[in-house]
Amino acid sequence: MNSRKWVRMFLTTLLLGGVLTLISSFFIKQDAYARVFHPFQGLEFLGVLLFFAGLGFIFSVISQMGFFAYLTIHQFGLGFFRSLWMPIQVGLIGFALFDLVYFRYQSADGESFWGYFFTALVLFVIALLTAAQKAKETNRKAFIPALFFMVVVTTIEWVPALRTQGFDYVTLMIIPLVACNIYQLLLLHRLTGNRNSSAKKASTS
């Protein structure tokens, strides 16, 4: 992938993160907007918009750092572990999902177990659908690596928000993270031209 394509990927992912976080903030952080609407304060409102857009840019950069870090780790895993790399990834996927449910519930103070279970389930379903699409557009061997990226790497990227006490920033961060990760994962093979024959035929028909 040449520098022009990389810059395109970086900027579009950055924009996606900023826009999604800004839109999500209207629903998740209504209290922040209420303070500048009653009464309306133009400069403060602009400041709130810039704050959440900037936060989204940061989330996008975290997503991109995780994506390129995984590409490096994946190549290392293939070279070092060889055929064991696939089952290792499966094991780490299971551990990450278990961690999202059990360890978070253990550290919580009287919160419902099912809330953590539902969070992990939704992430896993989204990861499954994304990995299936990745495998469809490239090859079936891409399924486990894509699933690993969507579950394990997304969870690692999400850690700063998971350590906070408020539910609002946990939700505010996961939306752009998941969207940016899906976007990068499905865009990469389009930029590099690494698509399977059936996908190429479908795109040209």
What is the predicted pLDDT for the residue at 201?
Answer: 45
What is the predicted pLDDT for the residue at 114?
Answer: 82
What is the predicted pLDDT for the residue at 182?
Answer: 98
User: 21, 6, 50: which is closest to 180 by C-alpha?
Assistant: 21
- Cα angle value 34/171/157 (rounded, 5°): 135
C-alpha 131/C-alpha 147 separation (Å) is: 5
pTM of the model: 0.90
Contacts of residue 90, defined as CB under 8 A and 6 or more positions apart, other chains included, come to: 144, 148
b/e map 24-37, b = 16+ CB within 10 Å: bbeebbeebbeebe
Residues in the chain, pLDDT under 70: 1, 107-110, 165, 195-205
